[in-house]
Amino acid sequence: MIPAAFTYHAPRTLRDAVRLLRAYEGDARVVSGGMSLIPAMKLRLVQPEHLIDIGRLGELDYVRRTEDGRVAIGAGATYRSIEKSRTVAAVAPMLVETVRQVGDLQVRNRGTLCGSAAHADPAADAPAALLALDATLHTAGGPSRRSIQARRFFVDAYETVLGPTEVLTEIRIPKQPARTGSTYLKFANKASRFAIVGVAAAITVDRKGVCTRARIAVTGAGPCAVRATASERYLTRRKVSPEAIAAAASRASRDMEFIEDVHGSEEYREHLTGVITQRALAEAARRAGA
Amino acid sequence: MRQVTLTVNGRRRSAEVEDRDLLVDMLREKLRLTGTHIGCDTSQCGACTVLLNGAAVKSCSLFAAQAEGAKVTTIEGLAKGDTLHPIQQAFHEEHGLQCGFCTPGMVMLLHEFLRRNPDPTEHEVRTALSGNMCRCTGYQNIVASALHAARTLRSEG
């Protein structure tokens, strides 16, 4: 399959990348690993006139700990470098667990976390983890540099709050509170490994086993990844038990919008959302020591 | 058109390509290295797997221009003269191929995987191969070949 013709640009700095993005506003796409964008271009679902490659910028290829104890992941960092990172394993083990479930080895060698977030595929794994980990997404190229909370970032299928000249440069993830257990669990499409429904859960408990903080996010079920706030509210300040988890999970689909496709009906996805949320919460609770 | 220069199997090779030409197109059509196969052409089957600076990638899913300056290893780069690479030899001995179409991708994927994990379990091999499909469904012998190759490579140190 041959993509529509375009001009390829390999800027040497982020500044140059932004300059190109502004010069070709509306006609350009940013590529890093290209694991979502290039297949879409080959199918001609996306036909940019200009392709701006930030995947070769050394300045964006990093995974590091920030002074305030967060982990910062640059737009050039592949899933593979996140899988290998001791910093990520220490600060946000759920992210490593999530990344290991993305695609296959070859895809993880090239694909990037920032790319997945910016592409916002409804069935991608990363958005759920970013929501449940309270990530912030940092941009350049707009009227000013922005840092956007994950829960404000994803808008709709393949749609984020990024403007036409903005590029996602970095994702930051805070250290989880003590006594937090987290996991990412998905019911995957057997062929593509994309999530039919995927749930990221992080729950914090006190010494008595009472949940003090819950973050639950669902991907694959609807047009974009969302927080299951009704479940979070139910669980918070309750003692964690199988009954409380079941009751919280039964609330996961409240206020949620479901999609229907060849892989499953709306009803099927709604059912799976409850089941996978329940399993993810049980595992997160176990890891939290509740 | 643009000139792209790669180091392919240890040799500097250049070709004129269109910006939209994929790495696999450059390898097969311009450099005539047809050992790298195009199976699904949708990033799923892994037949086009090559090493890009040592990492296994699907060459149908990146543009040749993105590989400018990179070191690329294809299936043609593994054997030394008439001596097969230990992974190739293992596929030969364990009958790890039926039609052979998926084999170059399987071998290149395993090349990186066995470097990362020299003593894998069968389950780890099967997980690692999840991005490579064999339409003959000959997975049993492919997994046996991978484990055989791992033993040989370990004994060679």
The residues in A 183-212 lying below 8 A from B, measured between CB atoms, are 191-193
Each residue's pLDDT, cut to its tens digit, for chain A (290 residues) gives 899 999 999 999 999 999 999 999 999 999 999 999 999 999 999 999 999 999 999 999 999 999 999 999 999 999 999 999 999 999 999 999 999 999 999 999 999 999 999 999 999 999 999 999 999 999 999 999 999 999 999 999 999 999 999 999 999 999 999 999 999 999 999 878 899 999 999 999 999 999 999 999 999 999 999 999 999 999 999 999 999 999 999 999 998 999 999 999 999 999 999 999 999 999 999 999 98
Q: What is the rounded distance in angstroms from the CA atom of residue A118 to the CA atom of residue B66?
A: 20
Condensed to tens digits (0 to 9), the pLDDT of residues B81-118 reads 999 999 999 999 999 999 999 999 999 999 999 999 99
Condensed to tens digits (0 to 9), the pLDDT of residues A41-54 reads 999 999 999 999 99
Beta strand spans in chain B (E)? 2-8, 11-17, 49-52, 55-58, 71-73
CA-CA-CA-CA dihedral for A76, A79, A83, A89, to nearest 10 = 70
CB of A120 closer than 8 Å to CB of A82: no
Condensed to tens digits (0 to 9), the pLDDT of residues A227-283 reads 999 999 999 999 999 999 999 999 999 989 999 999 999 999 999 999 999 999 999
The domain limits of chain B are 2-77, 86-156
Average pLDDT over residues B117-131: 97
For residue B1, what is the nearest residue in chain A, using CA coordinates?
Answer: A7
CATH architecture of A180-288: 2-Layer Sandwich (3.30)
pLDDT for res A204? 98
Beta-carbon separation of B65 and A104 below 8 A: no
* Tokens of residue A89, six digits: 């394993």
The verdict on domain A7-53 having CATH code 3.30.43.10 is yes
Q: How far is B62 from chain A (nearest CA, A)?
A: 7
For residue B131, what is the nearest residue in chain A, using CA coordinates?
Answer: A104
Between chain A and chain B, the number of residue pairs with CB atoms below 8 A apart is 76
Beta-carbon separation of A5 and B68 below 8 A: no
Position B157 pLDDT exceeds 80: no
pLDDT for res A290? 84
CB of B34 closer than 8 Å to CB of B23: no
Position B67 pLDDT exceeds 90: yes
pLDDT for res A192? 81
pLDDT for res A34? 97
Beta-carbon separation of B49 and A106 below 8 A: yes
Position B54 pLDDT exceeds 90: yes
The verdict on domain A58-173 having CATH code 3.30.465.10 is yes
pLDDT for res A193? 87
Q: What is the rounded distance in angstroms from the CA atom of residue A33 to the CA atom of residue B27?
A: 20
State whether residue A39 sits within 8 Å of chain B by CB. yes
* Class of CATH domain B86-156: mainly alpha
The domain limits of chain A are 7-53, 58-173, 180-288
Q: Which residues of chain B approach chain A closer than 8 Å at the C-beta?
A: 2, 18-20, 41-44, 46, 49, 52, 55-58, 61-63, 65-66, 68, 109, 112-113, 128, 130-132
Sign of CA dihedral A221, A116, B59, B145: negative
Listed in sequence order, the residues at least 6 apart from A28 whose beta carbon sits closer than 8 Å to its beta carbon are A20, A21, A48, A49, A50, A51, A52
- Three-state SS for A96? helix
pLDDT for res A12? 96
For residue A57, what is the nearest residue in chain B, using CA coordinates?
Answer: B66
- Whole-number Cα distances in Å, A150 to A117, A128, B18, B86, B134: 9, 9, 38, 47, 39
- Superfamily in which the B2-77 domain is placed by CATH: Beta-grasp domain (3.10.20.30)
Q: How far is B39 from chain A (nearest CA, A)?
A: 11
Can you name the residues that pair with A7 across neighbouring β-strands?
A50
State whether residue A241 sits within 8 Å of chain B by CB. no
Q: How far is A253 from chain B (nearest CA, A)?
A: 31
- When the pLDDT of each residue in chain B is averaged and rounded to a whole number, the result is 97
Q: Tell which residue, A283, A289, A290, has the closest CA to residue A94.
A: A283
